[in-house]
A and B are shown apart, each in its own frame.
Chain A
Amino acid sequence: MERIYIDNDMARFVRKDLTVVDMELADGRRFENLEPHRLFPVSVQDQFITLLDENGAEQAVIRDLKTLPKDQQEIIEDCLNEYYLIPKILRIRDFHERFDGLTLFAETDKGPKDIDIRILLKGFRMEGVRVMVRDINDNRYEIPDINRLDSLSRQILGRYI
């Protein structure tokens, strides 16, 4: 079956629940209870958003969220914001290290958080200036631009990245 790519105004969305929407295509086809997921949650935020039905089967893919009408964009963005929790680390106040275990005492856009990391494992992943952090419980955090952090935070991170 050919994949349905959604661009511009070829679909209307109605928010059904926190992370769920109903979709009606321009040709009249209707799809219920679709959950938008990012196909590239780490590398791309607004493109290639898959719409999965209750059985996890893909019904369509939004090629680029920005091409959708503003109100439609917001509906999908709201769902994604509920689904994805990747707090942005704004500042690292302090750290505590003991062998492989590292605790970062961080300020995030979602509030203060003590992040426990295993250094030797996949704790940090750097892509250019962006740093993805994964804690011991598989929670994810993001530093969008390491150069924008204050010097203390950069100094602390510099020990491990």
Chain B
Amino acid sequence: MSEKTTELETSAEYLQSGVSVDINPPFRGIKFISNKKLDVNDTEKLEQEIPPGECLQFVIVGDLNIKNHYAHTFLAVTDKHIYGFDEALPEGVEKVSYGQLKSARVKRYYGNAMLVFTLPVEEGTDKKKINFLRFSYTEANLFDAAAGYISAIVSGADMTEELAIVKAALEKQFCVCPKCGRTLIRPGAPCMKCESKDAVIQKLGKYIMPYKGILFFCLFLSVITTAASLAPPYMTRQLVDDVLPNKDIMGLVGCVLILLFTHLIRHGIGTIRGYHLKIAGDRIVTDLRNDVYKKAQLLPMRFYDNTSTGSMINRISGDSNVIQSFMLRVTQEVLVQLFQLIGIVIIMFTMSWQLTLLSLVPVPFVVIGSRIFRKKMKPLYRRIWRTWSAVTSVLTDTIPGIRVVKAFANEEGGMKKFAFRNALWLETNKKASRITTLYPHVVNFLMSCGSLLIWAVGGQLVIRDSDMVSAGLLVSFISYTSMFYTPVNFFANFNDSYQQFLNSAERLMDIMDAEPEHNFAEGKHPEKIVGKIEFRNVNFSFDRSKKTLNDINFVIEPGDVVGIVGTTGAGKSTIINLLMRYYDHYDGQILIDDIDIRDIDMTFYRSQIGYVQQEPMMFNDTIYHNIAFGSPTATVEDVLHAADVANAHTFIARMPDGYDTVLGERGTGLSGGERQRLSIARAVLREPSILFFDEATASVDSETEHLIQESIEQLIRGRTTLMVAHRLSTLRKANKIIVVDRGKILEMGTPQELLAMKGKYYKLVQIQTMTEEIKKAKEEERFD
């Protein structure tokens, strides 16, 4: 029952939030789906053009006219015709029937795309296609779905089934925040990114909660020190008005002792408070960094495709510090300064209400100034961060790649790039410094003017009527006025740290609130993965400008060894990336043992896969730990066995420190072939059901390739294996070959079948046999 209610509530919310695809009133009593609301003119046009009896299925509103100008256009698809409404067309509308067409597709240009209809070849006519409607990339995915629908209907598919696919595409559009482009949890869900700033403060505020005890204790100590700091000016008045004129030595000693006591309290308690605050602050920043790093590990590849390493490091190190110091300021300083402000104002009013009102004169100027300051500084802080990220990017690029830099003698180039970006940072920082240094001085000047006003007016009162205002009262009042301006100054400057905090919080929340990899089926998995792999109508693109995979369909039976071949950029590695679940935003289905991979617990799923990449990633750790990476329960014997299988044990044993050899960053100290064999050992240790090799032998010499090949052959026995390879010699054991070209499967079958077809695979074999022969001859020549 409760589940039902939740479902109903969700649907109601879904409809109320305006994300339903039935956003338009029914057309002639029949509902239709659309991406946007149609206006009265649109409906009139539909009424005019669509004859009675035709059923409107869906409408897609576009944003460009045929002449490449922004305009309101729309595609209306009925059960009989396809209509394109575009004011730039001679008639304002174009109409075709399904019968006239052979197929439909979206042709992507640069920044825009076109719905193109291919016509059947007819004698006596040159017309092969119709450029039907133009649109920007914003709507390209929707028109892709429309083209798929039209092509399917032309080839006799069921309208209702195909309409469901269009509906899914339209709904998916509402899964993206229209403001910031982030993927939402469900259609119409609130975007975490676009939430209010209060919510951000609340979210980050949770980090101070575990230390609230210490923080309250520190706050209590602050109240004591603040109270103690209010005593000295009062004692000054006593000294000036009573003790000194009356030459009261005992009174003087008493006053000095009281002052000494207050200073002891202030500084003694201040030290204890400072220590506890430091500890609490460090703990807060540690927790925050841990959480950010933890989250960073769970983010999908799509996030990293768009984020530089430099900016990630900057966020984890710099931004978390800014947030910590702001949090401490809020929890400590704000209250202390507020107490101080209230305490001083009360004391000042009791001393002289006239002088107190005078001392308030500069306050409005300080407040207005702080607003101007905030406005000016916000973009500058962001720019400083960006320029600093650019500086760190050069570091993260060039320092790990120092071998390449030296090999190409490009030290000078690197230095110039670094100096240029550093200069940009300096320039931006200089601009900001002008404001940040000017502002506090302006505030201080205004406050000094306040003190001068008190001197001028109060001094006159002392001279004219010392009974009303005594000299001691004036001196004491001036001291309190200076103290009064400290919290005023603090609150005026608070904006500065608030702005820095918001900028840092914004960047940190970009990680904290980013959608993690979806583990839709946490805890759900079959007992064992047998190894059947199936791609069903898989379409995928990294961004909207190009489709990387187009309608991929294949079935791999358990134990098959399948080679994926094709030219560079054909989409081979993308197939592996999707199988690894690095990207989930594809259309269609990928099944393992007839279960959608998105319905299998991700950790379990990945634990069943052995993945060997072209550039194996090694960590700055021992060889032993590098092999045992991701297999915490492996015994020493297991690791040794894995190294044996991978043909790695021999070279490891020869090393002075053996398995204890600590590798440099990214595995420096080993050859490419040695690193590759370690990564194979790593895969062996996992005892995977499925194996993926992505160009595993692409960057090694023939002899090393032979060694790696041997280890691969041992490893793949009885396991479903997918091998992406440029070198066809790697695919000796493959019983099936898939030839991919420009995101599509071109050929598929056993190597013998493909050779007999004399297609692309045949050509690749021919070319490579020639190349291999030449290469072999050259190698023999070299060693003779």
Contacts and interface: CB of A to CB of B under 8 A. Distances in A.
A100 B180 contact: yes
A120 interface: yes
A87 B137 CA distance: 13
A94 to B, nearest CB: 15
Contacts of B111: 84-87, 139-140
A19 interface: yes
Interface string A13-55: 0000111000000000000000000000100000000000000
A1 to B, nearest CB: 14
Interface in B173-188: 177-181
B669 to A, nearest CB: 36
B506 interface: yes
Given A108-B70, A120-B311, A136 B382 contact: no
B509 interface: yes
Interface residues of B, number: 38
Contacts of B110: 41, 83-86, 140
Given A56-B742, A85-B136, A116-B179, A138 B545 contact: yes
A56 B509 CA distance: 42
Interface residues of A, number: 37
Contacts of A103: 179
Contacts of A87: 70, 111
B180 A113 contact: no
A138 B64 CA distance: 15
Contacts of A119: 382
Nearest to A136: B181
B583 to A, nearest CB: 16
Contact of A101 (B109, B112, B181, B306): B181
B71 interface: yes
A112 interface: yes
Nearest to A81: B68
A99 B70 contact: no
A82 B129 CA distance: 16
A99 B193 contact: yes
A154 interface: no
A49 B309 CA distance: 34
Contacts of B543: 138
Nearest to A96: B179
Contacts of B140: 137
Contacts of A113: 70
A7 to B, nearest CB: 25
Interface in B740-769: 742
Interface of A: 17-19, 41, 56, 81-87, 98-101, 103, 108, 110-113, 116, 118-122, 135-140, 158-160
22 contacts: A18-B131, A82-B68, A84-B109, A84-B111, A85-B64, A85-B112, A98-B179, A98-B193, A98-B194, A99-B193, A99-B194, A99-B506, A100-B193, A100-B506, A101-B194, A111-B69, A118-B180, A136-B180, A138-B544, A138-B545, A158-B379, A159-B382
The 6 closest A-B pairs by CB, nearest first: A136-B181, A101-B180, A111-B70, A159-B379, A85-B111, A85-B112
